[in-house]
Structure 1
Amino acid sequence: MALVKKSSRRITVDGTTYRWRLRGRPTYDQALVWSPLTYAVEYAETPGTTLVITTNQPHPSNWFGAQANPVLPSDVADSIRTARHNGWTPENPGSPFHLDQSEGFVSSL
């Protein structure tokens, strides 16, 4: 499944161009700080397998005002490199590749 181009940003990592997107509105669980922020990345030229990154921080638009740091392009680049090292092949079609970086996330439960 390809990312929606609206609100997506381009990033070049090690000579390859990707598009990444953070959901503007949090899911219900993210709004309640029950689950962490996630964002998606795909190969910009011919989208194949989507990378879904789960972070260790709350969504910036959560309903409780929990402190959330912005997702920086350097964070996205580091996650892309980690996923590529762990076997993500964005050029090939397939199921989404999940990269879980949620260690240390504290839920509001």
Structure 2
Amino acid sequence: MTVVKKRFRLITVDGVVYRWRVRRRPAHQGPLSFAIERADRRGTVLIATTPDTRPTDWMGTATPPDVPSIVAAMIREARDRGWRPETPGPAFPLTVTAEAWTS
């Protein structure tokens, strides 16, 4: 599985370049979720979900303004939990709870 190359951004974390994008959801509601993979080779895709709402949430809940720092933090957390983006395999899901996100 690879990240669709439309609407993606690049980020460098600890010397490695990753490609990421915000995942779509119907009705633009729900948690903020990202698909992330290494930019230079195919491998396991990280599906990272935060407790924050999407930027287009019409219910009035604010989204953190610094999304790249969130993506970098999720990449580091996933690496700590065993995500190996350089090896092929099924998508690696990572969900961070609100309690862990605020600490």
User: Which structure's residues are more often helix, by fraction?
Assistant: 2
Q: Which whole-Å CA distance do the structure 2 matches of 1:2 and 1:87 have between them? A: 19
Conserved? CA contact 1:26–1:62, under 8 Å = no
TM superposition score normalised by structure 1: 0.80
2:93 corresponds to which residue? 98
Is the alpha carbon distance of 1:38 and 1:71 closer, same or farther for their aligned partners in structure 2, counting shifts above 3 Å? farther
TM superposition score normalised by structure 2: 0.84
Q: For this pair of structures, how many residues does the alignment match?
A: 99
Query: Which runs of structure 1 show a deviation greater than 6 angstroms over 4 or more consecutive aligned residues?
Result: none
Give RMSD over aligned pairs.
Answer: 1.7
Query: Which AA in structure 1 matches 2:46?
Result: L
User: Which structure's residues are more often strand, by fraction?
Assistant: 2
3-state SS of the aligned residue for 1:57?
strand
- Deviation track 1:59-79 (CA, whole Å, cap 9, x = no partner) reads 111232322223521211111
Conserved? CA contact 1:42–1:50, under 8 Å = yes
Q: Which whole-Å CA distance do the structure 2 matches of 1:27 and 1:100 have between them? A: 19
Cα drift, residue 53 of structure 1? 0.8
Equivalent positions of 1:74-89 (< 5 A) are 74-89=69-84
2:7 corresponds to which residue? 7
2:20 corresponds to which residue? 20
Q: Which whole-Å CA distance do the structure 2 matches of 1:75 and 1:68 have between them? A: 11
- Name whichever of 69-78 and 53-62 sits farther off: 69-78
What's the % identity of the aligned pairs? 46
